[in-house]
Amino acid sequence: MSQLETTYLGLKLKNPVIVGSSGLTSSIEKIKKIEKAGAGAIVLKSIFEEQIKFEAGKMANGSDSPEALDYVNFYVKNNTLQEYLDLIKKAKEEVKIPIIASINCVSSKEWTGFAKSIEEAGADAVEINVFVLPNDRNAPAEKYENIYFELAEKLKSTLKIPFAFKLGSHFSNLTGFIQKLNVPGVVLFNRFYAPDIDIDNFKFTAAEVFSSPSDIRNSLRWVGIISSKVSKMDIAASTGVHDGKAIIKQLLAGANAVQVCSAIYKNGIDYLETMIKEVEDWMSKHGYNNIDEFRGKMSYSNIDDPLVYERSQFMKYFSSIQ
């Protein structure tokens, strides 16, 4: 039987399938079901600094006292964070698969404090959700990129457990940016909130929350490139992974692990078993005993024509469409 064991962020996983940060991983009951269905690890639902500040703002509404505002902010922040730390501790007690925490902040000051508390609660690793919207036309790109770099350095000096940055793809030189970031791992890519417009009611709404199978195209390209051009960095592929075939593709491109989320929402937690079985059957069919025998087989550096990963090849394929 094929062996699916892999290593991600120094953690030993029984298989490369990680259930990504979402409502699916927000309670002990759900986490236990995910482990039973066969996942290799889970990323807890993110704790949001913005959410904490919003809750504090609601509680403090109507008070003009600086002391009261300070108390409310302290109370909400610490109690919301404590609930999250309790979830980590409980998960570590009741399941055996690695527990990766997820934090989503908007200020570099809070990141390291949250991360350290999460480490002390027993998390095996931390996933850092970072996105700074570059909307100042007069600001150089370096101003925004330095926020990521400074945060990475703070976390390196603060944490003993491994961490990964979950990134978007909108950088002028993604390969160079990730190389300079120099963190233990990256998740490619984050699925950010995107606005949409209701043209009949003239209101803003959220765009489609779930990914589609076609969304794998962008992450697959960059997994193949980054795994070849950036050394000593683990990669988790995310977005557009809806079946076992997609998992195999990302592993062939060079991913260490693959995160799934939308497919589980749509098909149920037990669908994990189907996805993992597809990978096992494919490995048996092609005579692979373990993942390392084929991981990166079709990455940028391991194929005869690496230009298939580059935009310049688009003309070759689309010019034939009339």
Enumerate domains of the chain plus CATH numbers.
6-318 (3.20.20.70)
The closest alpha carbon to 280, from 264, 293, 291, belongs to 291
Cite the beta strand spans of 173-321 per DSSP E.
185-188, 195-198, 203-206, 234-237, 257-260
Cα 231 to Cα 179: distance, rounded to the nearest angstrom: 8
Q: 187: which residues sit within 8 A by CB, 6+ positions away?
A: 127, 164, 165, 166, 167, 235, 236, 237, 238, 259
How far CA 197 is from CA of 203, 206, 208, in Å, comes to 6, 8, 12
Cα 312 to Cα 281: distance, rounded to the nearest angstrom: 35
Q: What is the pLDDT of residue 320?
A: 54
Q: What is the pLDDT of residue 72?
A: 34
Q: What is the pLDDT of residue 67?
A: 38
Q: Using an 8 Å Cβ cutoff, are 15 and 6 in contact?
A: yes
How long a stretch of residues is the chain? 322
Q: What is the pLDDT of residue 57?
A: 43
What the block records as the tokens of 78 is 């610490």
User: For residue 294, with 0-12 CB atoms within 10 Å meaning exposed, 13-18 middle and 19 or more buried, which class applies?
Assistant: middle
The closest alpha carbon to 154, from 123, 99, 115, belongs to 115
pTM of the model as a whole: 0.86
CA 230 to chain centre: 18
Q: What is the pLDDT of residues 263-295, one digit of tens each?
A: 999 999 999 999 999 999 999 999 999 999 999
Q: What is the pLDDT of residue 74?
A: 41
* Confidence class for position 184, pLDDT limits 50, 70, 90: very high
Residue 318 reports pLDDT greater than 60: no
Q: What is the pLDDT of residues 139-179, one digit of tens each?
A: 888 888 888 898 899 999 999 999 999 998 888 899 999 99
Q: Minimum mean pLDDT among 96-110, 142-156, 235-249: which range?
A: 96-110
Q: Using an 8 Å Cβ cutoff, are 92 and 122 in contact?
A: yes
**Which whole number is the average pLDDT over 190-210?**
83
Q: 131: which residues sit within 8 A by CB, 6+ positions away?
A: 168, 190, 192
DSSP bridge partners of 132 = none
